[in-house]
A and B are shown apart, each in its own frame.
Chain A
Amino acid sequence: MSQAISKKSRTPVYKQQDLQTQELREKGLLFCIGIVIPLFILIFWEVTTRQGWVDELFLPSLSGIVTEFLAMATKGYAGTPLITHVLGSLRRVFIAFSIGTVVGLSLGLLMGYYKYVRAAFYVVTELLRPIPPLAFITLFILWFGIGEVSKVLIILYAGALIVMLNTIEGVRSCPQNKILAARTLGANDLAIFLYVIFPAALPSIFTGMRVALSVDFGILVASELLAGDIGIGYIIQDASVFFNVEALFVGILMIGFFGVVSDFCLAFISRRIVHWQG
Protein backbone atom coordinates (compact mmCIF):
# COMPACT_ATOMS: atom_id res chain seq x y z
CA MET A 1 0.00 0.00 0.00
CA SER A 2 2.62 2.50 1.08
CA GLN A 3 4.82 1.29 -1.77
CA ALA A 4 2.14 2.05 -4.28
CA ILE A 5 1.79 5.55 -2.96
CA SER A 6 5.50 6.26 -2.97
CA LYS A 7 5.81 4.88 -6.50
CA LYS A 8 3.04 7.11 -7.68
CA SER A 9 4.52 10.19 -6.06
CA ARG A 10 7.91 9.43 -7.63
CA THR A 11 6.57 9.65 -11.16
CA PRO A 12 6.28 13.32 -11.94
CA VAL A 13 4.06 14.57 -14.73
CA TYR A 14 5.74 16.57 -17.45
CA LYS A 15 3.85 18.56 -20.00
CA GLN A 16 6.38 18.32 -22.78
CA GLN A 17 7.33 15.14 -24.58
CA ASP A 18 10.90 14.03 -24.24
CA LEU A 19 13.15 13.95 -27.30
CA GLN A 20 12.93 10.19 -27.67
CA THR A 21 9.15 10.26 -27.90
CA GLN A 22 9.30 13.16 -30.32
CA GLU A 23 11.70 11.26 -32.51
CA LEU A 24 9.50 8.18 -32.42
CA ARG A 25 6.43 10.16 -33.37
CA GLU A 26 8.25 11.85 -36.19
CA LYS A 27 9.41 8.50 -37.51
CA GLY A 28 5.84 7.22 -37.37
CA LEU A 29 4.59 10.25 -39.24
CA LEU A 30 7.23 9.89 -41.95
CA PHE A 31 6.37 6.20 -42.30
CA CYS A 32 2.70 7.04 -42.74
CA ILE A 33 3.51 9.64 -45.39
CA GLY A 34 5.71 7.09 -47.12
CA ILE A 35 2.80 4.64 -47.27
CA VAL A 36 -0.09 7.03 -47.85
CA ILE A 37 1.34 8.94 -50.81
CA PRO A 38 2.06 5.87 -52.98
CA LEU A 39 -1.37 4.49 -52.06
CA PHE A 40 -2.92 7.78 -53.13
CA ILE A 41 -1.07 7.60 -56.45
CA LEU A 42 -2.34 4.05 -57.02
CA ILE A 43 -5.92 5.08 -56.28
CA PHE A 44 -5.58 8.10 -58.54
CA TRP A 45 -4.22 5.81 -61.27
CA GLU A 46 -7.14 3.40 -60.91
CA VAL A 47 -9.70 6.23 -60.92
CA THR A 48 -8.32 7.98 -64.01
CA THR A 49 -8.25 4.76 -66.03
CA ARG A 50 -11.65 3.55 -64.78
CA GLN A 51 -13.23 6.90 -65.65
CA GLY A 52 -11.72 6.72 -69.10
CA TRP A 53 -9.80 9.97 -68.67
CA VAL A 54 -6.78 8.20 -70.12
CA ASP A 55 -6.79 5.86 -73.09
CA GLU A 56 -6.29 2.24 -71.94
CA LEU A 57 -3.77 1.81 -74.72
CA PHE A 58 -1.35 4.22 -73.01
CA LEU A 59 -2.08 3.47 -69.39
CA PRO A 60 -3.94 0.30 -68.45
CA SER A 61 -5.95 0.19 -65.27
CA LEU A 62 -4.40 -1.20 -62.14
CA SER A 63 -7.02 -3.90 -61.86
CA GLY A 64 -6.40 -4.79 -65.49
CA ILE A 65 -2.72 -5.32 -64.77
CA VAL A 66 -3.51 -7.52 -61.77
CA THR A 67 -5.95 -9.57 -63.83
CA GLU A 68 -3.37 -9.94 -66.58
CA PHE A 69 -0.77 -11.02 -64.04
CA LEU A 70 -3.10 -13.66 -62.61
CA ALA A 71 -3.89 -14.90 -66.10
CA MET A 72 -0.19 -15.13 -66.93
CA ALA A 73 0.52 -16.90 -63.66
CA THR A 74 -2.06 -19.56 -64.39
CA LYS A 75 -1.89 -19.93 -68.15
CA GLY A 76 1.66 -18.76 -68.79
CA TYR A 77 2.85 -16.34 -71.45
CA ALA A 78 3.44 -17.22 -75.11
CA GLY A 79 3.00 -20.90 -74.35
CA THR A 80 5.56 -20.91 -71.55
CA PRO A 81 4.69 -20.90 -67.83
CA LEU A 82 5.38 -17.57 -66.15
CA ILE A 83 7.64 -19.25 -63.61
CA THR A 84 9.88 -20.44 -66.46
CA HIS A 85 10.21 -16.88 -67.74
CA VAL A 86 11.01 -15.58 -64.28
CA LEU A 87 13.44 -18.34 -63.38
CA GLY A 88 15.11 -18.02 -66.77
CA SER A 89 15.80 -14.35 -66.16
CA LEU A 90 16.85 -14.79 -62.56
CA ARG A 91 19.18 -17.61 -63.53
CA ARG A 92 20.94 -15.40 -66.06
CA VAL A 93 21.39 -12.60 -63.57
CA PHE A 94 22.46 -14.94 -60.80
CA ILE A 95 25.11 -16.74 -62.86
CA ALA A 96 26.41 -13.55 -64.45
CA PHE A 97 26.44 -11.64 -61.18
CA SER A 98 28.21 -14.41 -59.26
CA ILE A 99 30.94 -14.99 -61.82
CA GLY A 100 31.18 -11.28 -62.54
CA THR A 101 31.71 -10.51 -58.87
CA VAL A 102 34.45 -13.12 -58.55
CA VAL A 103 36.18 -11.87 -61.71
CA GLY A 104 35.80 -8.20 -60.80
CA LEU A 105 36.91 -8.80 -57.24
CA SER A 106 40.03 -10.72 -58.27
CA LEU A 107 41.06 -8.19 -60.89
CA GLY A 108 40.25 -5.31 -58.56
CA LEU A 109 42.32 -6.73 -55.72
CA LEU A 110 45.28 -7.32 -58.03
CA MET A 111 45.02 -3.88 -59.57
CA GLY A 112 44.46 -2.17 -56.27
CA TYR A 113 47.35 -3.90 -54.54
CA TYR A 114 50.01 -4.07 -57.22
CA LYS A 115 50.70 -0.68 -58.72
CA TYR A 116 52.45 -2.31 -61.67
CA VAL A 117 49.36 -4.32 -62.56
CA ARG A 118 47.32 -1.16 -62.18
CA ALA A 119 49.65 0.75 -64.45
CA ALA A 120 49.51 -2.05 -67.01
CA PHE A 121 45.72 -2.06 -67.21
CA TYR A 122 45.11 1.62 -66.52
CA VAL A 123 44.58 2.72 -70.11
CA VAL A 124 42.35 -0.24 -70.94
CA THR A 125 40.05 0.26 -67.97
CA GLU A 126 39.87 4.00 -68.46
CA LEU A 127 38.85 3.39 -72.07
CA LEU A 128 36.25 0.76 -71.21
CA ARG A 129 34.82 2.66 -68.28
CA PRO A 130 32.81 5.30 -70.19
CA ILE A 131 31.48 2.84 -72.81
CA PRO A 132 27.97 1.65 -71.95
CA PRO A 133 28.04 -2.16 -71.85
CA LEU A 134 24.99 -2.23 -74.11
CA ALA A 135 27.16 -0.87 -76.91
CA PHE A 136 28.82 -4.29 -77.01
CA ILE A 137 25.62 -6.30 -77.16
CA THR A 138 25.48 -6.97 -80.88
CA LEU A 139 29.20 -7.60 -80.93
CA PHE A 140 28.74 -10.23 -78.23
CA ILE A 141 25.93 -11.84 -80.22
CA LEU A 142 28.22 -11.89 -83.23
CA TRP A 143 31.01 -13.52 -81.23
CA PHE A 144 29.13 -15.87 -78.95
CA GLY A 145 25.91 -16.52 -80.85
CA ILE A 146 22.40 -15.44 -80.06
CA GLY A 147 21.88 -17.94 -77.24
CA GLU A 148 22.42 -17.99 -73.53
CA VAL A 149 26.18 -17.39 -73.59
CA SER A 150 26.17 -13.90 -75.07
CA LYS A 151 23.38 -12.78 -72.73
CA VAL A 152 25.16 -14.01 -69.62
CA LEU A 153 28.50 -12.66 -70.83
CA ILE A 154 27.25 -9.13 -71.45
CA ILE A 155 25.65 -9.01 -67.99
CA LEU A 156 28.80 -10.51 -66.50
CA TYR A 157 30.98 -7.92 -68.19
CA ALA A 158 28.88 -4.99 -67.00
CA GLY A 159 28.83 -6.18 -63.40
CA ALA A 160 32.47 -7.24 -63.25
CA LEU A 161 33.64 -3.84 -64.43
CA ILE A 162 31.73 -2.08 -61.66
CA VAL A 163 32.85 -4.49 -58.94
CA MET A 164 36.42 -4.17 -60.18
CA LEU A 165 36.47 -0.38 -60.11
CA ASN A 166 34.97 -0.28 -56.64
CA THR A 167 37.38 -2.91 -55.36
CA ILE A 168 40.36 -0.93 -56.65
CA GLU A 169 38.97 2.12 -54.90
CA GLY A 170 38.45 0.17 -51.69
CA VAL A 171 41.94 -1.31 -51.65
CA ARG A 172 43.52 2.05 -52.31
CA SER A 173 41.48 3.82 -49.68
CA CYS A 174 42.90 1.66 -46.89
CA PRO A 175 44.47 4.12 -44.43
CA GLN A 176 48.26 3.97 -44.50
CA ASN A 177 48.33 4.04 -40.69
CA LYS A 178 46.59 0.70 -40.47
CA ILE A 179 49.01 -0.93 -42.89
CA LEU A 180 52.02 0.50 -41.07
CA ALA A 181 50.58 -0.53 -37.71
CA ALA A 182 50.21 -4.11 -38.95
CA ARG A 183 53.74 -4.06 -40.29
CA THR A 184 55.20 -2.87 -36.99
CA LEU A 185 53.33 -5.71 -35.28
CA GLY A 186 55.23 -8.19 -37.44
CA ALA A 187 52.75 -8.81 -40.26
CA ASN A 188 54.17 -9.82 -43.66
CA ASP A 189 52.69 -8.78 -47.02
CA LEU A 190 50.24 -11.67 -47.19
CA ALA A 191 48.98 -11.10 -43.65
CA ILE A 192 48.58 -7.39 -44.31
CA PHE A 193 46.58 -8.16 -47.42
CA LEU A 194 44.35 -10.71 -45.69
CA TYR A 195 43.80 -9.04 -42.34
CA VAL A 196 44.06 -5.35 -43.20
CA ILE A 197 43.68 -4.37 -46.84
CA PHE A 198 40.94 -6.81 -47.79
CA PRO A 199 38.68 -6.09 -44.80
CA ALA A 200 39.28 -2.37 -45.27
CA ALA A 201 38.12 -2.70 -48.88
CA LEU A 202 34.99 -4.70 -48.02
CA PRO A 203 32.59 -1.75 -47.60
CA SER A 204 33.58 -0.44 -51.01
CA ILE A 205 33.34 -3.94 -52.51
CA PHE A 206 29.80 -4.34 -51.24
CA THR A 207 28.81 -0.94 -52.59
CA GLY A 208 30.17 -2.04 -55.95
CA MET A 209 28.26 -5.31 -55.77
CA ARG A 210 24.98 -3.54 -55.10
CA VAL A 211 25.47 -1.12 -57.97
CA ALA A 212 26.51 -4.02 -60.20
CA LEU A 213 23.40 -6.01 -59.31
CA SER A 214 21.04 -3.21 -60.22
CA VAL A 215 22.91 -2.57 -63.47
CA ASP A 216 22.81 -6.31 -64.18
CA PHE A 217 18.99 -6.23 -64.14
CA GLY A 218 19.01 -3.41 -66.65
CA ILE A 219 21.39 -5.23 -68.96
CA LEU A 220 19.33 -8.42 -68.54
CA VAL A 221 16.19 -6.82 -69.92
CA ALA A 222 18.09 -5.21 -72.76
CA SER A 223 19.76 -8.46 -73.74
CA GLU A 224 16.44 -10.32 -73.61
CA LEU A 225 14.76 -7.64 -75.68
CA LEU A 226 17.15 -8.34 -78.49
CA ALA A 227 16.93 -12.06 -78.71
CA GLY A 228 15.41 -15.10 -77.07
CA ASP A 229 12.06 -16.63 -76.33
CA ILE A 230 12.24 -16.80 -72.55
CA GLY A 231 12.60 -14.24 -69.82
CA ILE A 232 10.98 -11.15 -68.40
CA GLY A 233 12.71 -9.02 -71.02
CA TYR A 234 11.18 -11.23 -73.69
CA ILE A 235 7.71 -10.70 -72.18
CA ILE A 236 8.25 -6.94 -72.31
CA GLN A 237 9.45 -7.07 -75.88
CA ASP A 238 6.74 -9.45 -77.09
CA ALA A 239 3.96 -7.55 -75.31
CA SER A 240 5.12 -4.31 -76.94
CA VAL A 241 4.93 -5.85 -80.39
CA PHE A 242 1.33 -6.90 -79.82
CA PHE A 243 0.35 -3.72 -77.95
CA ASN A 244 -0.49 -5.84 -74.93
CA VAL A 245 0.05 -2.94 -72.55
CA GLU A 246 -1.15 -4.87 -69.50
CA ALA A 247 1.42 -7.62 -70.04
CA LEU A 248 4.03 -4.94 -70.71
CA PHE A 249 3.32 -3.42 -67.30
CA VAL A 250 3.43 -6.85 -65.64
CA GLY A 251 6.90 -7.36 -67.11
CA ILE A 252 8.13 -3.92 -66.03
CA LEU A 253 6.76 -4.30 -62.51
CA MET A 254 8.26 -7.77 -62.15
CA ILE A 255 11.72 -6.46 -63.02
CA GLY A 256 11.27 -3.73 -60.44
CA PHE A 257 10.11 -6.23 -57.85
CA PHE A 258 13.02 -8.63 -58.29
CA GLY A 259 15.47 -5.76 -58.45
CA VAL A 260 14.25 -4.40 -55.12
CA VAL A 261 14.13 -7.80 -53.42
CA SER A 262 17.62 -8.83 -54.52
CA ASP A 263 19.09 -5.47 -53.52
CA PHE A 264 17.40 -5.76 -50.16
CA CYS A 265 18.97 -9.18 -49.59
CA LEU A 266 22.40 -7.95 -50.62
CA ALA A 267 22.08 -4.88 -48.41
CA PHE A 268 21.14 -7.14 -45.51
CA ILE A 269 24.18 -9.38 -46.02
CA SER A 270 26.39 -6.33 -46.46
CA ARG A 271 25.24 -4.80 -43.19
CA ARG A 272 25.94 -8.06 -41.42
CA ILE A 273 29.46 -8.41 -42.77
CA VAL A 274 30.68 -4.81 -42.75
CA HIS A 275 28.92 -3.96 -39.50
CA TRP A 276 31.65 -1.48 -38.53
CA GLN A 277 30.69 0.79 -41.40
CA GLY A 278 28.28 3.47 -40.17
Chain B
Amino acid sequence: MTQLPSKSSTISPSLDRHSPHLTEDEVICLDQVAFGYSRKRLVLQDFGLSIRRGEFLTLLGPSGCGKSTILNLIAGFHKPLSGRVTHSGQVVKGPSARRGVVFQGNALFDWMTVEQNIAFGFRFKSLPKYEQQQQVKTIIELVGLRGSERKYPYQLSGGMRQRVAVARSMVVQPEILLMDEPFAAVDVQTREGLQEELLKLHEQVAGAILFVTHSVEEAVFLSDRIVILDRDLGGIYHEISIQLPEPRYASMNRVSEAFNHYRTELYLKMKAIS
Protein backbone atom coordinates (compact mmCIF):
# COMPACT_ATOMS: atom_id res chain seq x y z
CA MET B 1 0.00 0.00 0.00
CA THR B 2 1.42 3.31 -0.92
CA GLN B 3 1.13 6.03 1.57
CA LEU B 4 -0.52 9.16 0.40
CA PRO B 5 1.19 12.32 1.36
CA SER B 6 -0.75 14.39 3.81
CA LYS B 7 -1.74 17.89 2.88
CA SER B 8 0.73 19.33 5.31
CA SER B 9 3.65 17.93 3.32
CA THR B 10 2.99 20.24 0.40
CA ILE B 11 5.37 23.11 0.47
CA SER B 12 3.96 26.55 0.15
CA PRO B 13 6.12 29.15 -1.58
CA SER B 14 7.94 30.77 1.26
CA LEU B 15 8.68 34.45 1.23
CA ASP B 16 12.19 34.24 2.63
CA ARG B 17 13.35 32.35 -0.40
CA HIS B 18 16.49 34.38 -0.86
CA SER B 19 17.75 33.94 2.64
CA PRO B 20 21.29 32.58 2.31
CA HIS B 21 20.92 29.39 4.34
CA LEU B 22 18.46 28.02 1.82
CA THR B 23 20.60 28.48 -1.27
CA GLU B 24 22.72 25.38 -0.56
CA ASP B 25 19.89 23.18 -1.63
CA GLU B 26 18.46 25.16 -4.51
CA VAL B 27 19.78 25.49 -8.01
CA ILE B 28 17.39 28.09 -9.41
CA CYS B 29 15.66 30.85 -7.52
CA LEU B 30 13.18 33.40 -8.83
CA ASP B 31 12.76 36.28 -6.45
CA GLN B 32 9.95 38.82 -6.74
CA VAL B 33 10.08 38.56 -10.49
CA ALA B 34 7.87 40.72 -12.66
CA PHE B 35 7.63 40.18 -16.38
CA GLY B 36 5.41 41.22 -19.24
CA TYR B 37 5.91 41.50 -22.96
CA SER B 38 4.60 45.00 -22.50
CA ARG B 39 4.88 47.02 -19.32
CA LYS B 40 1.16 47.60 -19.33
CA ARG B 41 0.21 43.94 -19.29
CA LEU B 42 2.23 41.86 -16.92
CA VAL B 43 2.29 38.09 -17.14
CA LEU B 44 4.11 37.64 -13.86
CA GLN B 45 4.12 39.87 -10.84
CA ASP B 46 6.00 39.43 -7.59
CA PHE B 47 6.65 35.85 -8.55
CA GLY B 48 8.80 33.57 -6.45
CA LEU B 49 9.89 30.00 -7.07
CA SER B 50 12.85 27.89 -6.16
CA ILE B 51 14.02 24.67 -7.71
CA ARG B 52 16.04 22.22 -5.69
CA ARG B 53 19.06 20.36 -6.94
CA GLY B 54 18.13 17.20 -8.76
CA GLU B 55 14.38 17.54 -8.36
CA PHE B 56 11.81 17.05 -11.09
CA LEU B 57 9.52 20.05 -10.94
CA THR B 58 6.58 20.56 -13.25
CA LEU B 59 4.75 23.78 -13.97
CA LEU B 60 1.14 23.00 -14.70
CA GLY B 61 -1.49 25.42 -15.80
CA PRO B 62 -3.85 26.54 -18.54
CA SER B 63 -2.31 28.03 -21.64
CA GLY B 64 -1.41 31.66 -21.29
CA CYS B 65 -0.67 31.44 -17.57
CA GLY B 66 3.01 32.18 -17.96
CA LYS B 67 4.49 28.67 -17.77
CA SER B 68 6.71 29.15 -20.78
CA THR B 69 7.55 32.67 -19.70
CA ILE B 70 9.01 31.36 -16.44
CA LEU B 71 11.02 28.80 -18.37
CA ASN B 72 12.31 31.45 -20.75
CA LEU B 73 13.30 33.66 -17.83
CA ILE B 74 15.27 30.85 -16.22
CA ALA B 75 16.90 29.94 -19.54
CA GLY B 76 17.98 33.55 -19.91
CA PHE B 77 16.00 34.18 -23.09
CA HIS B 78 14.07 36.96 -21.35
CA LYS B 79 15.11 39.45 -18.71
CA PRO B 80 12.74 40.19 -15.82
CA LEU B 81 11.35 43.71 -15.58
CA SER B 82 12.09 43.62 -11.90
CA GLY B 83 13.25 41.08 -9.37
CA ARG B 84 15.93 38.56 -10.18
CA VAL B 85 16.56 35.06 -11.38
CA THR B 86 19.55 33.36 -9.84
CA HIS B 87 21.34 30.14 -10.66
CA SER B 88 23.35 28.86 -7.70
CA GLY B 89 23.42 32.38 -6.35
CA GLN B 90 24.56 34.04 -9.59
CA VAL B 91 22.15 36.27 -11.46
CA VAL B 92 21.10 34.80 -14.81
CA LYS B 93 22.18 37.18 -17.55
CA GLY B 94 21.65 35.11 -20.66
CA PRO B 95 21.58 31.55 -22.00
CA SER B 96 24.26 29.24 -20.68
CA ALA B 97 25.31 25.63 -21.16
CA ARG B 98 24.66 25.12 -17.44
CA ARG B 99 20.94 25.32 -18.20
CA GLY B 100 19.82 22.99 -20.97
CA VAL B 101 16.63 23.55 -22.92
CA VAL B 102 14.47 21.08 -24.82
CA PHE B 103 12.01 22.76 -27.14
CA GLN B 104 8.66 21.46 -28.32
CA GLY B 105 10.09 20.64 -31.69
CA ASN B 106 11.98 21.87 -34.73
CA ALA B 107 15.17 22.59 -32.80
CA LEU B 108 17.37 19.81 -34.14
CA PHE B 109 20.04 20.61 -36.69
CA ASP B 110 18.68 19.04 -39.87
CA TRP B 111 22.12 19.06 -41.51
CA MET B 112 23.71 16.94 -38.82
CA THR B 113 23.33 13.24 -38.12
CA VAL B 114 21.81 12.01 -34.87
CA GLU B 115 25.32 11.47 -33.52
CA GLN B 116 26.52 14.92 -34.56
CA ASN B 117 23.43 16.54 -33.07
CA ILE B 118 23.95 14.83 -29.73
CA ALA B 119 27.68 15.57 -29.67
CA PHE B 120 27.16 19.24 -30.60
CA GLY B 121 27.50 20.54 -27.03
CA PHE B 122 30.90 18.87 -26.66
CA ARG B 123 32.39 21.20 -29.26
CA PHE B 124 32.38 23.85 -26.58
CA LYS B 125 33.65 21.73 -23.73
CA SER B 126 37.18 20.60 -23.10
CA LEU B 127 36.64 16.91 -22.68
CA PRO B 128 38.91 14.23 -24.16
CA LYS B 129 37.63 12.98 -27.49
CA TYR B 130 37.46 9.44 -26.24
CA GLU B 131 35.33 10.38 -23.27
CA GLN B 132 33.00 12.42 -25.48
CA GLN B 133 32.43 9.45 -27.75
CA GLN B 134 31.87 7.22 -24.77
CA GLN B 135 29.23 9.52 -23.31
CA VAL B 136 27.48 10.01 -26.63
CA LYS B 137 27.40 6.26 -27.07
CA THR B 138 26.00 5.72 -23.60
CA ILE B 139 23.19 8.20 -24.02
CA ILE B 140 22.31 6.90 -27.49
CA GLU B 141 21.96 3.50 -25.88
CA LEU B 142 19.83 4.93 -23.05
CA VAL B 143 17.30 6.65 -25.28
CA GLY B 144 17.07 3.74 -27.67
CA LEU B 145 18.63 5.41 -30.69
CA ARG B 146 21.12 2.67 -31.43
CA GLY B 147 21.26 1.94 -35.13
CA SER B 148 20.09 5.45 -35.96
CA GLU B 149 23.39 7.24 -35.22
CA ARG B 150 24.07 8.01 -38.86
CA LYS B 151 20.52 9.02 -39.74
CA TYR B 152 19.42 12.59 -40.24
CA PRO B 153 16.51 14.11 -38.30
CA TYR B 154 14.24 14.07 -41.36
CA GLN B 155 14.61 10.30 -41.50
CA LEU B 156 13.24 9.91 -37.98
CA SER B 157 9.75 9.86 -36.51
CA GLY B 158 8.57 12.68 -34.26
CA GLY B 159 9.18 10.63 -31.14
CA MET B 160 12.70 9.71 -32.25
CA ARG B 161 13.47 13.35 -32.98
CA GLN B 162 12.47 14.35 -29.47
CA ARG B 163 14.66 11.57 -28.10
CA VAL B 164 17.58 13.13 -29.95
CA ALA B 165 16.68 16.56 -28.58
CA VAL B 166 16.55 15.27 -25.01
CA ALA B 167 19.78 13.33 -25.42
CA ARG B 168 21.54 16.34 -26.95
CA SER B 169 20.68 18.53 -23.97
CA MET B 170 21.33 15.88 -21.34
CA VAL B 171 24.66 14.59 -22.56
CA VAL B 172 26.46 17.77 -21.51
CA GLN B 173 25.01 17.34 -18.01
CA PRO B 174 23.43 20.71 -17.31
CA GLU B 175 22.59 21.51 -13.71
CA ILE B 176 19.01 21.99 -14.78
CA LEU B 177 17.14 20.92 -17.89
CA LEU B 178 14.24 23.12 -18.97
CA MET B 179 11.61 21.34 -21.03
CA ASP B 180 8.80 23.30 -22.65
CA GLU B 181 6.03 20.83 -23.53
CA PRO B 182 8.59 18.60 -25.22
CA PHE B 183 6.21 15.72 -25.89
CA ALA B 184 3.15 17.71 -26.92
CA ALA B 185 3.50 16.93 -30.61
CA VAL B 186 3.76 13.13 -30.46
CA ASP B 187 1.07 10.49 -30.17
CA VAL B 188 -0.01 9.09 -26.82
CA GLN B 189 1.83 5.76 -26.99
CA THR B 190 5.07 7.38 -28.04
CA ARG B 191 4.64 10.05 -25.39
CA GLU B 192 4.31 7.47 -22.61
CA GLY B 193 7.47 5.77 -23.79
CA LEU B 194 9.29 9.08 -23.88
CA GLN B 195 8.13 9.93 -20.36
CA GLU B 196 9.45 6.64 -19.02
CA GLU B 197 12.79 7.14 -20.75
CA LEU B 198 13.02 10.65 -19.40
CA LEU B 199 12.62 9.35 -15.86
CA LYS B 200 15.31 6.74 -16.46
CA LEU B 201 17.61 9.44 -17.79
CA HIS B 202 16.83 11.62 -14.81
CA GLU B 203 17.99 8.83 -12.55
CA GLN B 204 21.28 8.59 -14.44
CA VAL B 205 21.98 12.28 -14.84
CA ALA B 206 21.96 14.19 -11.61
CA GLY B 207 20.59 17.54 -12.78
CA ALA B 208 17.21 19.03 -11.94
CA ILE B 209 14.41 19.17 -14.50
CA LEU B 210 11.84 21.90 -14.92
CA PHE B 211 9.02 20.57 -17.05
CA VAL B 212 6.18 22.58 -18.52
CA THR B 213 2.95 20.89 -19.53
CA HIS B 214 -0.80 21.29 -19.45
CA SER B 215 -1.42 17.59 -19.06
CA VAL B 216 -2.27 16.54 -15.50
CA GLU B 217 -1.36 12.89 -16.15
CA GLU B 218 2.01 13.79 -17.55
CA ALA B 219 2.74 16.02 -14.57
CA VAL B 220 1.79 13.39 -11.99
CA PHE B 221 3.70 10.61 -13.70
CA LEU B 222 6.92 12.58 -14.04
CA SER B 223 7.21 14.96 -11.14
CA ASP B 224 8.57 15.07 -7.66
CA ARG B 225 6.75 18.34 -7.22
CA ILE B 226 4.05 20.13 -9.20
CA VAL B 227 3.28 23.82 -9.20
CA ILE B 228 -0.05 24.96 -10.60
CA LEU B 229 0.05 28.49 -11.90
CA ASP B 230 -2.82 30.88 -11.75
CA ARG B 231 -4.02 32.34 -15.01
CA ASP B 232 -4.77 35.87 -13.87
CA LEU B 233 -2.38 36.49 -11.04
CA GLY B 234 0.62 34.96 -12.66
CA GLY B 235 1.33 33.44 -9.29
CA ILE B 236 1.40 30.03 -7.71
CA TYR B 237 -2.10 28.72 -7.18
CA HIS B 238 -1.28 25.35 -5.70
CA GLU B 239 1.75 23.25 -4.98
CA ILE B 240 1.97 19.53 -4.34
CA SER B 241 4.64 16.89 -3.79
CA ILE B 242 4.23 13.59 -5.56
CA GLN B 243 5.24 10.30 -4.03
CA LEU B 244 4.80 7.25 -6.20
CA PRO B 245 6.30 3.77 -5.78
CA GLU B 246 9.82 3.15 -7.05
CA PRO B 247 10.93 2.70 -9.71
CA ARG B 248 9.26 5.88 -10.82
CA TYR B 249 9.46 5.00 -14.49
CA ALA B 250 7.35 1.85 -14.05
CA SER B 251 4.36 2.21 -16.34
CA MET B 252 2.18 0.50 -13.72
CA ASN B 253 2.42 3.71 -11.73
CA ARG B 254 -0.07 5.16 -14.18
CA VAL B 255 -2.81 2.88 -12.86
CA SER B 256 -1.85 2.96 -9.20
CA GLU B 257 -4.21 4.24 -6.56
CA ALA B 258 -1.85 7.02 -5.54
CA PHE B 259 -1.63 8.20 -9.13
CA ASN B 260 -5.40 8.39 -9.31
CA HIS B 261 -5.56 10.30 -6.08
CA TYR B 262 -3.10 12.93 -7.29
CA ARG B 263 -4.74 13.18 -10.66
CA THR B 264 -8.17 13.79 -9.15
CA GLU B 265 -6.83 16.42 -6.80
CA LEU B 266 -4.98 18.26 -9.56
CA TYR B 267 -7.84 17.92 -11.97
CA LEU B 268 -10.17 19.62 -9.51
CA LYS B 269 -7.65 22.37 -8.86
CA MET B 270 -7.23 22.96 -12.57
CA LYS B 271 -10.99 22.99 -13.02
CA ALA B 272 -11.28 25.63 -10.32
CA ILE B 273 -9.06 28.14 -12.09
CA SER B 274 -10.17 27.67 -15.68
Contacts and interface: CB of A to CB of B under 8 A. Distances in A.
Interface of A: 175, 177-178, 180-188, 191, 195-196, 199-200, 202, 274-277
A180 B97 CA distance: 11
Interface in B74-118: 75, 77, 95-97, 99-101, 103, 105-111
A77 B194 CA distance: 71
Contact of B99 (A184, A191, A195, A276): A184
25 contacts: A175-B107, A177-B103, A180-B75, A180-B77, A180-B101, A181-B101, A181-B107, A181-B108, A184-B95, A184-B96, A184-B97, A184-B99, A184-B100, A185-B97, A185-B100, A185-B172, A186-B96, A187-B124, A196-B109, A200-B110, A200-B111, A202-B111, A276-B110, A276-B111, A276-B152
Contacts of A274: 111
Contacts of B107: 175, 177-178, 180-181
B172 A186 contact: yes
Nearest to B124: A186
Nearest to B155: A276
Contacts of B174: 184
B123 interface: yes
B109 A184 contact: no
Contacts of A199: 109-111
B72 to A, nearest CB: 9
B225 interface: no
Interface string B146-160: 000000111000000
Contacts of B231: none
B118 to A, nearest CB: 10
Contact of B106 (A178, A182, A188, A191): A178
Looking at chain B's contact residues, is the secondary structure mostly helix, strand, loop, or mixed?
loop
4 pairs of A and B residues whose beta carbons are closest in the complex: A186-B97, A186-B124, A185-B121, A177-B107
A76 to B, nearest CB: 48
Contacts of A188: 124
Interface in B152-197: 152-154, 165, 168-169, 172, 174
Nearest to B125: A186
A180 to B, nearest CB: 6
B116 to A, nearest CB: 9
Looking at chain A's contact residues, is the secondary structure mostly helix, strand, loop, or mixed?
helix
B109 A183 contact: no
B80 to A, nearest CB: 18
Interface residues of B, number: 29
- Determine which residue in A175, A185, A200, A274 has the highest number of CB atoms from chain B within 10 A of its CB, and name it: A185
Contacts of A181: 101, 103, 107-108, 165, 168-169
B142 to A, nearest CB: 18
A107 B83 CA distance: 42
A196 B111 CA distance: 9
Contacts of B237: none
B153 A184 contact: no
- Determine which residue in B97, B109, B174 has the highest number of CB atoms from chain A within 10 A of its CB, and name it: B109
- Determine which residue in A184, A186, A200 has the highest number of CB atoms from chain B within 10 A of its CB, and name it: A184
Interface in B46-81: 75, 77
A175 B105 CA distance: 11
A178 B101 CA distance: 11
A64 B64 CA distance: 74
Given A196-B109, A276-B152, A182 B120 contact: yes
Interface in B114-142: 120-121, 123-125
A196 B106 CA distance: 13
Given A180-B95, A185-B97, A185-B121, A276 B153 contact: yes
Given A180-B75, A184-B101, 17 more contacts: A175-B106, A177-B106, A180-B103, A181-B101, A181-B165, A181-B169, A183-B95, A184-B95, A184-B97, A184-B169, A185-B121, A185-B168, A186-B121, A187-B120, A200-B111, A274-B111, A276-B110
Contacts of B77: 180
- Determine which residue in B107, B124, B154 has the highest number of CB atoms from chain A within 10 A of its CB, and name it: B107
Given A186-B97, A276-B111, A276-B153, A191 B103 contact: no
